A and B are shown apart, each in its own frame.
Chain A
């Protein structure tokens, strides 16, 4: 902590650490200094000159965004000279601004409008002809209107500094200066659209939202992105039940404003024309739409019949459904159907990590740790492609705190731009490369280790014992691929484990079939796939099996089904999900799609139809049960309820039964794919793949 100094801003004496920028010091005192180009966390520009303040004993007005506070400094932020300067800047800005506010997307939430309203002049003296350039389309998702641009360089900085992409730059000079993609007329980037969000005016507009709505005509729902496992908060803007925009301008989640292309644009699968909106039953070999009651009765009857004759069930859960649904599904399977064959698409060996960390506390990294750690070791993961938020956190940590990054990857990755050391090692040889870094890693105060699916089982144990030899605090992140992959594991959607990593033997059962084994079992009587598409890449061996599918789309598995039940996506329901770092966050229903039901409700109704008592099936009640019964999930309710992230503290002991790591299959998704869901997002498939090699674990 630097020494405190005292300065006076608008007559108020403030104590701030030496070197604090005056604009930040003022913010702490609740004094707002207007600025366009100043953007917290990014490099300083001093270009917009809106934040000029008067400092006593300095002849000229000073930009408060670059002026470090000094002891005894006396600052005036509202003096006539300052007010005149602000008015002057705004008048300059509006000279060539088209003032097409009535048809501008940004109208109503435009920083230029707000500034002119507060600080500007009512009339302009500008009577000349405006300089004009036509609007350009840079990509299917990003449009640029140079006439509206005020050149604050926020877009350039978030792209370059924030993401390491550097897709934007400045061309021409003087009044003709404009932002230009580094590829000339189009973007070849992550298409994250952050540039659009940070744009204070309507210069950068989104290809999906433009001309759709006025900002005040939408309801905003903060929920968790349903694509990858990073758990970014995304605020859905909903109009008439339809999501028309997603961003996180309120910085409510641990991701701040950061979102990748999936979080910002990948919501359009919700309103895809291919969404299932009615239950279907196979009649005469064809799937026919039927009523909910008919479909549910058919499932209940068949399930009861198979259960009664001791038939063989296979239950496959989802990596995107909520914790409540996953919990309820395994309860349904184990208690209701009496089967231990429960599994999901596993993408990382979390149980091995939890087992290896037994006896240690505070060894699982939270998302915030990635920004605070002094050093990071990334093993077998292309973070920029598969875990954009983790990649962003590490990069921000490097930018702000000079974190040392070490990479052990099969090939080049974007983190190499700033990594202290990068070793290329093929899968299976990682630990040797990791061992070679021991000397350097020991020199740091603490370390966070992030590893992909190529390390599993014994490899994870080796990694943890390597961490123990370093003699510094080490925290771990086991990467998993989808929004609730971690939650599915925690909720016991594996044959060997009950929720909270307890052995199924505790429930008097023997481990059942794993996913691949269910598909291969010739005598399987029923397959129940809840939000899963196992037949995408495999065949179902049992031709007589009664297949029930709950899904959003008519997937490969659904096409094989006897009964298809239209489910809701994460954006249409309430519940909780657990991110890759084990942090539980709340989903909030935003959109509505007619004819669908949440998976939890569907399962509850089947249970009711079968006469099973599995408890009340509302998300809140099930979550209460999870908090009570699942070890590690006794998290503070207010944190989750108010939209925060609460990290689970899983068992601090050995995991009694190990799920077999050979059933782990990393999804191999890139930045622009998202499993089955991604296929139904037109936007994700409309953008150009960013260059970059992807490591398959």
Chain B
């Protein structure tokens, strides 16, 4: 189902088949009636190189957070390798503030399947998995039903639409770890192991699932592929900003009037996104800050928000587009609590593999918990910054960075608020209860 009414400002490519209210997922019949699987038919007539070229031309960048060009990633796979190649869909959507993949999984599963089969054609894969976070129970069922339909229609199986090539697709359930959204940890988990990240290199394109060449992409990335194949990479690229092709799903949450998932072109202005698409700040309050791409991205202050939402512009501004989870905070937001809550999440989700992330997130959480409770001291503030710096860039995977970045940016940009909290704290700390050692 859809959770919000579409906005007239949207450019509906990915979501064009969805209508509000969308009670039931789009089944095979409806999907096929609306040009579904035509891109696949077209792709089956193309050479793998032509498919990859088209995706490269589209400048489609990974929608999971890192923004790596998808076509480039696919071209890294050695198609001549004697090993089997695999497709893995990262549907372990866990970044706080992000809720876009579920829109696709829940409403238009065939779009994802079509994207996967096209990608499989491009790299010569015969097998793929959709790794769905365990909490998405309903989406797993929807996906399973759609996959069964696709098998019935000959889209999946031994002979994909009569092309003579095989492609099998399965869903795989995550067990509730944020870390498993990191591609190499996801692969470990997929293989049935503990979801710890892997050493890179080798990257999955060389040695991924079961040590075979694998491409791991986000749900939204794969789902964008059918339209790219149908209309051409140039058409898709032109929808967005330079080197940031197409549209993407932005998840507006927080203090806006109309929170929801909206499809907007890459490079859409953030202020317009808040005011036009999101209907402005709730209750006529003032904007305080925006987390532009999920909780791990450095925060933007209100005055920094007149910015184009694409990977490169945000990187230049010292933040990240991330996974498209735009969290809007109004002037009433308690930034101390906000950072504490964020850090609590990362301390809980750190896998424990490397020292700086394991110990750093836990330590930061404890300091921030104190600050939030009003028992902080002023040197805590520098310490939060310094500890985050000790973690940043030194952890095994990006989770440490993801925890360090919000800590550094929030404590630097809203330091006055933290200081005020320490100063104004009127916390009564009760003396420890004393009891006589011997009761006579």
Contact = CB atoms under 8 A, between A and B. Distances in A.
Contacts of B179: 173
B76 interface: no
Contacts of A48: 354-355
Highest count of chain A CB atoms <10 Å: which of B196, B358, B396: B358
Nearest to B389: A88
Nearest to A93: B355
A95 B356 contact: no
17 contacts: A46-B354, A46-B396, A47-B354, A49-B354, A49-B355, A49-B395, A59-B393, A61-B394, A85-B390, A88-B356, A88-B387, A92-B363, A93-B355, A129-B366, A151-B358, A170-B194, A170-B352
Contact of A174 (B199, B348, B383): B348
A44 B199 contact: yes
Interface residues of B, number: 31
B383 A151 contact: no
A174 B352 contact: yes
A131 interface: yes
Contacts of A45: 199
Contacts of A46: 199, 354, 396
Interface in B386-400: 387, 390, 393-396
A216 interface: no
A633 B303 CA distance: 87
Interface in A13-27: none
A179 to B, nearest CB: 11
B349 to A, nearest CB: 7
Given A46-B396, A88-B390, A174 B361 contact: yes
Interface residues of A, number: 36
A66 interface: yes
B394 A60 contact: yes
A89 B194 CA distance: 24
A52 interface: yes
Interface in B158-217: 177, 179, 194, 196, 199
Contacts of B383: 125
Interface string B345-379: 00111111111101111110011001000000000
Interface of A: 44-50, 52, 59-61, 66, 84-85, 88-89, 91-93, 95-96, 125-126, 128-129, 131, 150-151, 169-170, 172-177
A73 to B, nearest CB: 16
Nearest to B195: A173
Nearest to A48: B355
Nearest to B383: A125
B94 to A, nearest CB: 14
Contacts of A47: 353-355, 396
A47 B396 CA distance: 6
Contacts of A44: 199
Contacts of B390: 84-85, 88-89, 91-92
A320 to B, nearest CB: 44
Given A92-B355, A92-B356, A169-B194, A66 B199 contact: yes
A66 B201 CA distance: 9
Contacts, number: 96
B355 A150 contact: yes
Interface string B80-102: 00000000000000000000000
A176 B350 CA distance: 10
Given A44-B199, A49-B394, A128 B358 contact: no
Interface of B: 177, 179, 194, 196, 199, 347-356, 358-363, 366-367, 370, 383, 387, 390, 393-396
Nearest to A150: B355
A125 B355 CA distance: 17
A175 B352 contact: yes
Nearest to B357: A174
Contacts of A96: 359, 362
Contact of A95 (B351, B363, B394): B363
Contacts of A91: 390
B264 to A, nearest CB: 32
Contact of B352 (A49, A126, A128, A172): A172
A176 B390 CA distance: 21
Nearest to A174: B350
A173 B195 CA distance: 10
A175 B367 contact: no
Dominant SS at the A interface? loop
B362 A151 contact: no
Contacts of A172: 352
B363 A128 contact: yes
Contacts of B358: 92, 151, 174-175, 177
Nearest to A97: B359
A128 B348 contact: no
Nearest to A96: B359
B378 to A, nearest CB: 13
Contacts of B355: 47-50, 89, 92-93, 150-151
Contacts of A170: 194, 196, 352
A41 B169 CA distance: 39
B393 A95 contact: no
Contact of A177 (B177, B348, B352, B370): B352
Contacts of A173: 177, 179, 349-352
A169 B354 CA distance: 15
Contact of A89 (B352, B356, B363, B370): B356
A638 B194 CA distance: 51
A128 B367 contact: yes
7 nearest interchain CB pairs?
A177-B352, A88-B390, A92-B359, A128-B366, A175-B362, A174-B350, A60-B393
Contacts of A95: 359, 362-363
A131 B353 contact: no
B179 to A, nearest CB: 8
Contacts of B354: 46-49
A128 B366 CA distance: 7
Highest count of chain B CB atoms <10 Å: which of A52, A129, A175: A175
Contacts of A61: 393-394
Contact of A49 (B177, B199, B348, B356): B356
A35 to B, nearest CB: 12
Contacts of B370: 128
A126 B364 CA distance: 10
A174 B354 CA distance: 9
A217 B351 CA distance: 40
Contacts of B367: 128
Given A48-B355, A173-B177, A131 B362 contact: yes
Nearest to B377: A127
B136 to A, nearest CB: 20
A125 B364 CA distance: 12
A230 B47 CA distance: 61
A175 B356 contact: no
A92 B348 contact: no
Nearest to A59: B393
A131 B354 CA distance: 17
A49 B363 contact: no
A52 B394 contact: yes
Given A49-B395, A128-B363, 8 more contacts: A89-B390, A89-B394, A91-B390, A92-B360, A92-B390, A96-B359, A151-B358, A174-B361
B176 to A, nearest CB: 10
Contacts of A88: 356, 387, 390, 394
Highest count of chain A CB atoms <10 Å: which of B349, B351, B363, B395: B363
Highest count of chain B CB atoms <10 Å: which of A88, A91, A129: A88
A88 B360 CA distance: 10
Contacts of B394: 49, 52, 60-61, 85, 88-89
Nearest to A87: B390
Contacts of A126: 363
Contacts of A93: 355, 359
Nearest to A171: B194
Nearest to B350: A174
Contacts of A169: 194
B363 A174 contact: no
B154 to A, nearest CB: 41
